[in-house]
Structure 1
Amino acid sequence: MTTHPAAPANPSTALAAVLVDELVRCGVRDVVLAPGSRSAALAFALHAAADAGRVRLHVRIDERSAGFLALGMARTSRRPVPVVTTSGTAVANLHPAVLEAAHAGLPLVVLSADRPAGLRGTNANQTTDQVKIFGGAVRAFADVPPAFAGTRGVNGVSEGHQVASWRSLVARHLVTATGRGVQPAGPVHLNVQFTDPLTPDVDGGWTDPCHGRPHGQPWTEAPDPARPQPEPVSAGRRTVVVAGDDAGPPARVLAERAGWPLLAEPTSGSRTGGNAIRTYRLLLADEELAGRIEQVVVYGHPTLSRPVTRLLSRGDVEVVAVPGPAGWTDPGHRVSRVVGAAWPDDQPEEDLAWTAEPREPRTARPASAWLAEWRRRDAELSDRLDALLAAEQGLTPHHVAGALSAALPPHGLLFVGASNPVRDLDLMVAEYPVGEHRMVVANRGLAGIDGTVSSAIGAALARPRTSRAFALLGDVTFLHDTNGLVAGPGEERPDLMLVVVNDDGGSIFASLEQGAPSHADSFEKLFGTPHGVDLAALCAATGTPHRRVATRAELAAALDSPAGGVEVVEAVVRRDNRRDLDAAIRELVHPV
């Protein structure tokens, strides 16, 4: 059904039906709803669309989890995903997800219900000022006034004119959210005022059938931006390619075509092929090697490493940036050029089309002395790292990350949490061949621990052809979003194994300045924050299958025997030796 053949009974039903219909026309396939009263008209419209097979409707009782569920879906599907809430604090609970979407360039669509504007400032129940509540975090905002039947107002606005304005508004905001406008992709917010009656069975005098464009077309169509034209970068300088979060295949393709080392984070979408340097974060601390870098081409949003930040901030390095979904990264204010796409200036001009549309290099460039040196140093350091970890007694976080990376099959999905897990994974990523379509993603826009369980579930739901889906996260991150495990009996659940590295607290701080021995008297209370939570009991409360592992053999057995649905594997590791272990790993760069 692409139009509403009969007129809705009342104005609020008409408004909700038009908004939902136009969202679907503009490419929406999944919607997340948190229940509420003021949003009832939207809920009924979404239920009707889901019954007609036009959208998948996902309901969550916690707005923060709902926002991150939608965020995870937007991340893997690259489609706009609306999250619908009622008024009041419900809207404020979406702020963390909105901020992550803003910094990651993801098309999250906030559809908040509101009471009529005349009730603002009157202490009416569940009424606050929701106008621009997210400030500059959203790419676009609209405060949509209530619908009304007939022809009213100074300008005599008819029902048909209202329908046209609603459809135009949705289409414009979806163009903005998906980055087909003048801004990067990102979140948008429609704050919609609804008046009684809010249910579709009560007559309110509405008469217009609310038709949209014929053949299910969106009200306003906008072309995708033109493919960026490749611009030359100097091939004669000692160059590295830095691939941050969401960099995508072009970073790898440039590195291989130019014969440069590829310093790719695990969530870059570039960490494949023979130019990827596994231990790049450690090698950047070697002044004899890293000090000779003359040029950096940076893709995506690098966030994991202080050595990378220092590299991008050096005054003696030329930094060229290729923008990602949320813009380009320039923490040291050293970027001299921003290019839509890059190619080495010693390549034949006939290869330009190939560079703009990345594929495998037709002929591999022989390794230069510069690349060969990085590869040799990486191989030597990798051997020392593996030997160090093999000698460790018991299960370490690095063992967990390495085992999970090795277990990820072609077409698999791995969602990784912030803090130590993503950094441990960075050192332990398996050597993946090109073209096997493993997807490793994370919330790296602001690198927070908010909503990770929900984001991982959303990511798995929106990638239905995934062969296996995993998530790797720490215990505090897991506890921060245990509501993500709560879903009603009729809700769709993906096959997703959540691997929780449990060291009973915040081990990330042990490696930072506050983890120094001089702060030992305050560290546990302020930063270590042991919680002592029984994860098995917590999982039992939500009906989530749980297994506890404490050895490498137990971990391997758990990874090989999924229970199906959403499940938790709790990997118990030590925290008291984390600072010493990290120091020992860093010292491998300069072996005695």
Structure 2
Amino acid sequence: MTGERTASGLALEVLQQLWLGGVRDVVLCPGSRSAPFALALDSADRSGDLRLHVRVDERSAGFLALGLSTGSRRPVAVVTTSGTAVGNLLPAVMEAHHTGRRIVVVSADRPERLRGTGANQTTVQAGIFGTFARCHDVTAGVAVDGLSSLVAQACSGAGPTQLNVQLDGDLTPPDPDPLTWWHRPDNRATAQLRQAGDVGVQPSVSVPTDGEPLPLGPRTVVVAGDDAGPAARMLAEAAGWPLVAEPTSGARIGRQALRTGRLLLTTALRDEVERVVVIGHPTLSRPVTGLISDSALEVLSVRGRSGVATDPGRVARVLDVVPRVEAPEDPTWFRRWQAADERLSQLIDSGLAAAQGDSPRASGAPDLSPLAVAAVVGAAVGAHTTLVVGSSNPVRDLDVMATPWPALEHRFVVGNRGLAGIDGMVSTAVGIALGRPRAARTIAYLGDLTFLHDTNGLMVGPSEPRPDLTLVVLNDDGGAIFSTLEQGGRRYADAFERVFATPHGTDLAALCAAHHTAYERVDDLGRLAEALAESPSGARVLEVRVSRADRRAEAAWLRQLAEQAVPGDDPSR
């Protein structure tokens, strides 16, 4: 069939092809031009073939789709009307591009004959995302085979794709019976899909076994960044090398993983490193970035899901698959790192315990250490738990405080680390929770600015699927991370509070009440641990208030403890 279709007929065929490509969740934003999609999706949802999520804010909708794709490991579609609605998806599309998440943007558009005429809500939509998403401008005359092929590519290829669908004429189906607005593709197509395997599901990780062998000898550290997966752990364990694994790496488990690895990279141990293997996308710390950018070292970097190998210094030899070793290294090298890690962890924990017990603050002021809060959150991530971590300080605190989790206990710790932004994290967490309904519990750990940046993510209509999700909001009334950077120095003190710290004074309890979201203020670590062990029904917010006044001093304190843990005259060198 190559003839012209009606708008509703074209919309139906696009949705059927998405279903054949493995799409089972679709996020929809309201609009007139997208009406044929909306009606067909409502019918598909009622029939149980698709799960529909309706949102009124396109930016939140894009991140909801991102979270659903991350959690379910399937392609997810987000449908918008024409005009600025499409542009609001850009932040989520950018993140999907840099992490290889399969998001299919279905943007309803005016027909080509109206482009450039000044017609209402008519703009340049096709290709609006530029290099961040492949684009197909779909007309009513597209051939069936052509439509099938391009949708299949969108659903199976890494990263986002835009299907810009030109809809002309009557936007509502001619038949008023909702049963005609959607029907599942015929049995032949379904059988072919099943025979070929479920193309929708993407493995959470790929662990190649045919990588090049690495010779032993050079003192080597494995750095596991975001989405590294178990391949990093398996390499470190096979070789007996230290493993510096970020919380969202999927590799911060097992016997080689270090709790305080990035702090140890500020000590004399770092000077002895001769080779680094980088897997995933490390982004959390300058010590790690400095290590993997050092031209004096042998740096090997493995391509990630997005096809990019992390190599900020342009010094690495890029590998397509994870390398292998034929035998374990002499254990002396790792044991020194392990002993330093244990000493530093003990120094940090004992110092925090003393500060919490001996330094009471004024009545009513926050008296919890952000690091202590992160330790409780990390300990709450038991088997089959999902943890979504926001950017900025929470993930960095967790990187210092989270003891590596035991092996062989499935956990899912993720964040939007492709671009490490604070955009859309509430919606991302909601999507991940909805995409992983069998998880024992789902926790999101966010800073206050990250939470406030996407409070529209709490806006869920009464008929929409709702997640069981606990959001822990670390509220220090502003952007504390900047106090640890150059702009937090004394010379910028007069301008700092306004243009970097950005205090807001928002009443989170009132905000949650406006969104009909359960809320609790938590003032002690014991209650936080209890709350995180609970299994709530629906979404709830736990606000934990802390001070940001000591953040810069805290960073200096951690560096001092690291030096104590690794004395410069260590006789075992």
**TM-score normalised by structure 1 residue count:** 0.87
- Note the C-alpha offset of 1:112: 0.5
Which of 117, 124, 129 does residue 124 from structure 2 map onto? 129
- Distance in 1 between the 2:140 and 2:465 partners? 33
Alignment of 1:306-455 (within 5 A): 306-326=286-306, 327-344=308-325, 346-347=326-327, 368-393=331-356, 394-455=367-428
SS at match of 2:82: coil
Deviation digits for residues 524-548 of structure 1, max 9, x if unmatched?
Answer: 0000100000000000000000001
User: Relative to 1, partners in 2 of residues 1:57 and 1:366: Cα closer, same or farther, differing over 3 Å?
Assistant: same
Q: What is residue 42 of structure 1 aligned with on the other side?
A: 37
- Note the C-alpha offset of 1:455: 0.1
- Note the C-alpha offset of 1:78: 1.6
Q: Tell me if the contact between 1:39 and 1:85 (Cα under 8 Å) persists in the aligned partners.
A: yes
- Note the C-alpha offset of 1:210: 11
Q: What is residue 551 of structure 1 aligned with on the other side?
A: 524
- Distance in 1 between the 2:388 and 2:369 partners? 19
User: Relative to 1, partners in 2 of residues 1:535 and 1:308: Cα closer, same or farther, differing over 3 Å?
Assistant: same
Q: What is residue 262 of structure 2 aligned with on the other side?
A: 281
Is 1:66 matched with 2:61? yes
Q: What is residue 5 of structure 1 aligned with on the other side?
A: none
- Distance in 1 between the 2:474 and 2:546 partners? 7
- Distance in 2 between the 1:104 and 1:21 partners? 26
Q: Tell me if the contact between 2:240 and 2:331 (Cα under 8 Å) persists in the aligned partners.
A: yes
Q: What is residue 215 of structure 2 aligned with on the other side?
A: 234
Q: What is residue 277 of structure 2 aligned with on the other side?
A: 297
- Note the C-alpha offset of 1:117: 1.5
- Distance in 2 between the 1:143 and 1:102 partners? 19
- Note the C-alpha offset of 1:550: 2.2
Q: Tell me if the contact between 1:171 and 1:220 (Cα under 8 Å) persists in the aligned partners.
A: no
Q: What is residue 362 of structure 2 aligned with on the other side?
A: none
User: Relative to 1, partners in 2 of residues 1:580 and 1:542: Cα closer, same or farther, differing over 3 Å?
Assistant: same
- AA aligned to 2:258 is I
Q: What is residue 432 of structure 2 aligned with on the other side?
A: 459
Alignment of 1:488-499 (within 5 A): 488-499=461-472
- AA aligned to 2:164 is N
Deviation digits for residues 378-416 of structure 1, max 9, x if unmatched?
Answer: 001111111121122321111111101111220000000
Which of 156, 180, 189 does residue 175 from structure 1 map onto? 156
Alignment of 1:212-291 (within 5 A): 214-216=188-190, 217=192, 229-286=210-267, 288-291=268-271
Moved more, 328-337 or 97-106: 328-337
- Note the C-alpha offset of 1:237: 1.1
Q: Tell me if the contact between 1:9 and 1:200 (Cα under 8 Å) persists in the aligned partners.
A: no
User: Relative to 1, partners in 2 of residues 1:545 and 1:579: Cα closer, same or farther, differing over 3 Å?
Assistant: same
User: Relative to 1, partners in 2 of residues 1:76 and 1:562: Cα closer, same or farther, differing over 3 Å?
Assistant: closer
- Distance in 2 between the 1:525 and 1:239 partners? 44
Which of 92, 96, 100 does residue 95 from structure 2 map onto? 100
SS at match of 2:164: strand
- Distance in 1 between the 2:18 and 2:99 partners? 22
- Distance in 2 between the 1:213 and 1:321 partners? 45
Q: Tell me if the contact between 2:258 and 2:404 (Cα under 8 Å) persists in the aligned partners.
A: no
User: Relative to 1, partners in 2 of residues 1:237 and 1:9: Cα closer, same or farther, differing over 3 Å?
Assistant: closer
- Distance in 1 between the 2:207 and 2:523 partners? 52
- Note the C-alpha offset of 1:168: 2.3
- Note the C-alpha offset of 1:373: 0.4
Q: What is residue 570 of structure 2 aligned with on the other side?
A: none
SS at match of 1:253: helix
- Distance in 2 between the 1:563 and 1:186 partners? 33
User: Relative to 1, partners in 2 of residues 1:369 and 1:530: Cα closer, same or farther, differing over 3 Å?
Assistant: same
- Note the C-alpha offset of 1:375: 0.2
Moved more, 8-17 or 573-582: 8-17
Root-mean-square deviation (CA, aligned residues, Å) is 2.3
- AA aligned to 2:79 is V
Q: What is residue 84 of structure 1 aligned with on the other side?
A: 79
- Distance in 2 between the 1:296 and 1:366 partners? 14
Is 1:528 matched with 2:501? yes
- AA aligned to 2:348 is L
Q: Tell me if the contact between 1:409 and 1:468 (Cα under 8 Å) persists in the aligned partners.
A: no
Q: Structure 1 segments of 4 or more deviating over 6 A?
A: 209-213, 219-226
- AA aligned to 2:44 is A
Structure 2, unpaired ranges of 5+: 357-366, 568-573
- Distance in 2 between the 1:581 and 1:524 partners? 18
Alignment of 1:156-195 (within 5 A): 162-176=143-157, 185-195=158-168
- Note the C-alpha offset of 1:33: 0.7
Q: Tell me if the contact between 2:274 and 2:297 (Cα under 8 Å) persists in the aligned partners.
A: yes
User: Relative to 1, partners in 2 of residues 1:557 and 1:211: Cα closer, same or farther, differing over 3 Å?
Assistant: closer
Is 1:28 matched with 2:2? no
- Distance in 2 between the 1:473 and 1:392 partners? 24
- Distance in 2 between the 1:218 and 1:127 partners? 37
SS at match of 1:568: strand
Q: What is residue 485 of structure 2 aligned with on the other side?
A: 512
SS at match of 1:233: coil
SS at match of 2:237: helix
- Distance in 2 between the 1:81 and 1:541 partners? 29
- Note the C-alpha offset of 1:479: 0.3
Q: Tell me if the contact between 2:209 and 2:324 (Cα under 8 Å) persists in the aligned partners.
A: no
- Distance in 2 between the 1:30 and 1:191 partners? 19
Deviation digits for residues 513-534 of structure 1, max 9, x if unmatched?
Answer: 0001111100000001000000
Q: Tell me if the contact between 2:292 and 2:311 (Cα under 8 Å) persists in the aligned partners.
A: yes
Q: Percent identity?
A: 53
Deviation digits for residues 136-157 of structure 1, max 9, x if unmatched?
Answer: 011x21111235xxxxxxxxxx
User: Relative to 1, partners in 2 of residues 1:221 and 1:22: Cα closer, same or farther, differing over 3 Å?
Assistant: farther
- AA aligned to 1:291 is D
Q: Tell me if the contact between 1:34 and 1:85 (Cα under 8 Å) persists in the aligned partners.
A: yes
SS at match of 1:341: coil
Q: What is residue 357 of structure 1 aligned with on the other side?
A: none
SS at match of 1:13: helix
- AA aligned to 1:341 is V
- AA aligned to 2:212 is E
Structure 1, unpaired ranges of 5+: 1-7, 148-160, 177-184, 348-364
- AA aligned to 1:387 is S
- Distance in 2 between the 1:94 and 1:382 partners? 42
Q: Tell me if the contact between 1:18 and 1:210 (Cα under 8 Å) persists in the aligned partners.
A: no
- AA aligned to 1:397 is P
Alignment of 1:110-149 (within 5 A): 110-138=105-133, 140-147=134-141
Moved more, 248-257 or 191-200: 191-200
- Note the C-alpha offset of 1:9: 12
